[in-house]
Amino acid sequence: MGTRNWTILCWNVRGINATEKWDAVRDKIEESASSVICLQETKKETFDISFIRKFAPRRFDHFDYVPSVGASGGILVLWNSAVFSGIVTDKQSFGLTVSFTATHTRRDLETNHSLWTM
């Protein structure tokens, strides 16, 4: 069976509320070609998909977060569900654990028979 490599971008963004920061974050995400993005120190209490679209490419269609407490903290994890399914296994005020499983496409299954083995 062939191997695959994935890239994870982890970044202390020191706040994601400023519009000036959105382009820089988007550029770094694109440059990294990552499938999982972990942003810390977001300094944001809540996230929704419309806000995430301001800085994250559309391929990042799943996310979870830990809200900031006042002007400190905040964690955001984004992932591409075409590559991974993610399940949050632990969420605390200063930590977020997501378990990822690679998503296999129908083409993967048809071309790699070892995936069918039980």
Structural domain that includes position 71: 8-116
Q: Structural domain tally of the chain? A: 1
CATH number of the domain residue 20 falls in: 3.60.10.10
pLDDT at 71: 85
Q: Is residue 44 part of a domain?
A: yes
Q: Is residue 108 part of a domain?
A: yes
Q: Is residue 22 part of a domain?
A: yes
Q: What is the pLDDT along the chain (118 residues), one digit of tens a residue?
A: 566 778 899 999 999 999 999 999 999 999 999 999 999 999 999 999 999 999 999 999 999 999 999 889 999 999 999 888 999 999 998 899 999 998 865 555 454 444 433 3
pTM for this structure?
0.84
Q: Is residue 1 part of a domain?
A: no
Q: Is residue 75 part of a domain?
A: yes
Q: Is residue 2 part of a domain?
A: no
61 CB neighbour count, 10 Å cutoff: 14
